Structure 1
Amino acid sequence: MAIAVSLILSIVGAALLYLASPNQGWLRQPLSRGWLPWAAVLVLLSWPAWMRALDPKAGFFAALTVLMLLLGLLPLLSLLRRGDH
């Protein structure tokens, strides 16, 4: 259960960061800049959630790994959605 909460916090935070970017490819217009603080809060809350779900050291690196994966994968998913490959 704790890992699911950690993963949801990471996914939603990373998605909001991406969708507020001017170069995002999912929406016609990016989200307003007012969503950036919420995205940062969710990403920062995912760290202690991961560290509580796992061993603190493993949780820290799991959070980094998941965020790196999400922030690299979200732009690619928008390309697959539009068929621009």
Structure 2
Amino acid sequence: MGVFGCMVLSLLAVALLYLRSPNQRWLARPLTGVVWRVLSWALLLLSWPAWMMVLDAKAGFFAALTLLMLLLGTLPLLSLLKEGRA
């Protein structure tokens, strides 16, 4: 797994976290159930060591942190493009 694989893993984890939120605007209803909760947190927690294996441990930690902050801030804003308000 390279850097691209780590990015996809992080994106998938954050997307599932967002789709579980009651305030999400992508789906008609948020994803419910323990399976989605466990899967989203498992992917999020697996993305961190994946970054640390691909890069140096310190660089991987901060790369994962930076990408997760970017994704967690950006994904909710993408729903505005879907609704045509942007």
Q: TM-score range by the shorter chain?
A: over 0.9
| Residue type of the alignment partner of 2:70 | L
> Percent of aligned pairs with the same residue?
60
Farther-moved stretch of structure 1 (39-48 vs 28-37): 28-37
Q: Determine the structure 2 residue equivalent to 1:76.
A: 77
Equivalent pairs counted in the alignment come to 85
RMSD: 1.0
| Residue type of the alignment partner of 2:27 | L
TM-score by length of 2: 0.93
Q: Determine the structure 1 residue equivalent to 2:62.
A: 61
CA drift of 1:19 comes to 0.2
Q: Determine the structure 1 residue equivalent to 2:21.
A: 21
Q: Determine the structure 2 residue equivalent to 1:7.
A: 7
TM-score by length of 1: 0.94
Q: Determine the structure 2 residue equivalent to 1:33.
A: 33
The ranges of structure 1 where at least 4 consecutive aligned residues each deviate by more than 6 angstroms after the TM superposition are none
> Which stretches in structure 2 are left out of the alignment for 5+ residues?
none
| Residue type of the alignment partner of 1:40 | W
